Amino acid sequence: MTEPDPNHNSKAGISGSKNSVLESKKNVSKSKKGVSNPNSGVNKNLLILHFTVFIWGFTGILGQLISISAVNLVWYRVLIATISLFLYFKFNKTAFKIDLKTLVKLLLTGALVGGHWILFFASIKLSTVPVTLVCLSSITLFTAIFEPIINKKRISKMEIVAGLLIISGIILIFKFETQYTKGIIAGLVSAVLASLFAIINGRQVKHHEAPVIAFYELSGALLWITIYLFATSGTAGFRIPKTADLGYLLLLGTVCTSLAYVAGVSVMRELSAFRVALITNLEPVYGIIMAFLFFGDMNKMSIGFWVGSVIILSTIFLFPVAQKQVAKRRNR
């Protein structure tokens, strides 16, 4: 009876392990070929988001170029946006039916949306695009105040500090830009309304798709503005826009409202809410640069305006960064 050769078994084991390693390498190689680079999707969505924010910044330019009143301007904007979103749903065969209770809520929220846009464009016509956009950037302040009250959360110390810095910036602008007092007030009230409907939408988006919410809120804005125009001026309240305004209104209603909204929502599939919020803060910057290129509005602004603007915009940019750092330290 011969003894089994231990060297033979070890060689067979080594040979088998080599084969398994080679097979695993081949499988890894195949899997790498089959998987696309995730960074390419993120980079694509970052470009889409920057372009969307750039479009939002362009709405201020269109508001100054369009000659009709702020109320009529918004009426045409929501009319065109509602029709284009309806066509979008039909083209993509998207279901957008909702229950009666939600419908009433969204239509009422539409009053806030309509009021926000009317005051936004009124502010532009009463002051300048840079003044309006800086006032609009105070949404961060009003959200920090209203969100804890509405959602019954504690107000953080960081939000209080950020709010005080933004208030100091607004006071500086008020002090040095007294000729634009009415425009500044309209811009700040516009920011208050934007903050309120953003908080409401934060709740609604948990139960419904964002484009569906937008469609019914824009329909609500259209309904309430129509009632207001009929009540105050009758049929005479509906002004037919000039030929020169038609192209701007079409661009405002489709590209700057319905299309930009859908694009802004779609990128959130790849990008975090923090990243989206950080990039969205570039809207006043883009708007102010475009205002300078189109109208030379920067030459009209005082040093006090620019100091106040730097305080407000710096606070808005640094606040989410500081917030993220604090969250990291707490999680350690």
* All residues at 6 or more sequence positions from 75 whose CB lies less than 8 Å from its CB, including other chains: 222, 225, 226, 229, 238
User: Beta-strand (E) ranges in 171-272?
Assistant: none
- Mean of all residue pLDDT scores within the chain: 79
Has residue 18 been placed in a domain? no
Measure the CA dihedral 330/150/260/215, to 10°: 140
Distance CA 280, CA 160 (A): 21
Task: Convert the pLDDT of each residue in 272-308 to its tens digit.
Answer: 555 666 677 677 778 777 877 777 765 566 788 788 8
pTM for the complete prediction? 0.74
Task: Convert the pLDDT of each residue in 183-242 to its tens digit.
Answer: 989 999 998 998 888 888 877 877 888 788 889 999 999 999 999 998 888 777 788 888
Has residue 275 been placed in a domain? yes
Has residue 10 been placed in a domain? no
N-terminal to C-terminal alpha carbon distance within the chain: 66
Has residue 32 been placed in a domain? no
pLDDT band of residue 45 (cuts 50, 70, 90) is confident
Task: Convert the pLDDT of each residue in 60-110 to its tens digit.
Answer: 888 888 999 899 999 999 999 999 999 988 888 888 888 999 999 999 999
Has residue 267 been placed in a domain? yes
Query: What secondary structure does DSSP assign to 154-189, as a single string?
Result: PPPHHHHHHHHHHHHHHHHHHHH-GGGHHHHHHHHH
Residue 81 has a CB neighbour count (10 Å cut-off) of 25
Domain that holds residue 77: 41-331
- Number of structural domains in the chain: 1
Has residue 36 been placed in a domain? no
Has residue 1 been placed in a domain? no
**Average pLDDT over every residue of 108-113:** 93
Has residue 291 been placed in a domain? yes
